[in-house]
Amino acid sequence: MIIERAFRRFRKQRAAAQLIEEALLLSVALVALSLLVGGISSILKEAGGFTSNIWGSISNTLNGLFSSAFQW
């Protein structure tokens, strides 16, 4: 009887510990996911800016080369 009570109490404490552990793991996963999404967003913004600058340079170069041949 005493062993059964102690075992029940231990199982309840273990279930609570598992819930706490799962909550902590979920919060760590959410933080990692937010960092990943933020990093990807930052990389895409930088790539977009780089592409825009390259396109502007090419456009200016072509405009400088062909501005005398084609008057707009």
Query: Average pLDDT in the 44-70 region?
Result: 89
Tokens 């080369």 belong to 65
3-state SS, residue 1: coil
11-55 pLDDT per residue, tens = 666 667 788 889 999 999 999 999 999 999 999 999 999 999 999
Whether residue 71 has pLDDT greater than 80: no
Question: Model-level pTM greater than 0.75?
Answer: no
Supply the Cα-derived Rg of the chain in whole angstroms.
31
Whether residue 10 has pLDDT greater than 80: no
Residue 62 pLDDT class (50, 70, 90 cuts): confident
